[in-house]
Amino acid sequence: MEVKLGFLRACKNHSCLSHELIDQILTPLCEHHNVRKPSQLEDLKTFVKEIDESIGEYNQTLTFIKHPIKGKEYLVYAKTDATPDSAVGLSTMAAVEYQYFSILLDKIAQEDDCSIPWTGAYKDLGFEASAKPPKKNRLQVLLHKWCEMGYFLAEDDKIYLGPRSLVEFEFYLLTNHPGTIKKCVLCNNVVLWDIRCASCQEQIHRDCIHKYLQRRSHCPACNSLWTTPTRRSNS
């Protein structure tokens, strides 16, 4: 129990964890309490699931999510009832900075590929007339911080929705951006930047369709023969 509580506290502090960071946290924690560390991925996911089940009644979740842009899996701690203007991770910000976060989230989410160029994070922001926008250097500091927290993800010259936003703001994104934010027909979680059916263009998680096609050969959305290669291109 002490290990689970200690690990949950660390997850709350970091909010978005890579497998490397998970190992850095769990190794000394388990050694300190003289318990066996979950050594296999399956054991780790069972350990996390037990924590997740214990915090669900408090509108919290601890869950793994794979981000297709990086091709990496992250462990995300989030409040399931959060909105962009009430997220706990942003609670120390000024009102105008909350507004910037909401503007940026919506600006990215409304794009077809849910990304914007870096320059787009600092122009055409549409702050309320009564608000005095922060200076560009402050916006840069905030954006860097939000990327570290997993709300956004920077890759090459673009900014994408990060793993934490996909978990914490799932309901908000699905409700406010139904044209670009969809659910995977196989797992019912948000799906972005992943594989599409060649016939109906339904977007599905690559891992989900790969498992599905081991048993069937047709698209789960339109029932046409699945022809899209499921392996990632090396190009």
Question: Is 144 contained in some domain?
Answer: yes
Q: What does the pLDDT read at residue 219?
A: 94
**Which CATH number belongs to the domain containing residue 138 in this structure?**
1.10.10.10
SS3 label, residue 158: strand
Tell me what the mean pLDDT of segment 81-86 comes to. Answer: 81
- Residue 227 domain-assigned? yes
Is there a domain that residue 167 lies in? yes
Q: Does residue 66 share a domain with residue 92?
A: no
pLDDT band at 235 (very low <50, low <70, confident <90, very high): very low
Domain boundary among the residues 122, 139, 172 is at 172
Taking only the tens place, the pLDDT of each residue in 147-179 is 999 999 999 899 999 999 999 999 999 999 998
Asked whether residue 68 falls in the same domain as residue 109, the answer is no
What mean pLDDT value characterizes the chain? 89
Tell me the pTM: 0.84
Task: Point out which residues pair with 77 in neighbouring strands.
Answer: 62
In a domain, 179, yes or no: no
Domain identity same for 31 and 51: yes
Cβ atoms of 14 and 163 closer than 8 Å: no
Q: Is there a single domain that holds both residue 105 and residue 139? A: yes
pLDDT digits (tens, 9 = 90+) for 176-224: 999 899 899 999 888 888 889 999 999 998 889 999 999 999 999 999 9
pLDDT digits (tens, 9 = 90+) for 87-138: 656 667 788 888 899 999 999 999 988 999 999 999 888 887 767 888 899 9
Asked if residue 180 is part of any domain, the answer here is no
Residue 155 covered by a domain: yes
Range of the domain at 50: 2-79
Same-domain status, 98 and 68: no
Is 181 inside any structural domain?
Answer: no
* Residue 233 pLDDT exceeds 60: no
Is it the case that residue 234 has pLDDT exceeding 50? no
Task: Give the ranges where the chain is alpha helix by DSSP (H).
Answer: 2-14, 19-32, 41-55, 95-109, 136-148, 163-168, 170-176, 206-212
The verdict on residue 135 lying in a domain is yes
Work out how many domains the chain is built from and give that number.
Answer: 3
Of 141, 172, 203, the last residue of a domain is 172
* Per-residue confidence band for 39, with pLDDT thresholds at 50, 70 and 90: confident
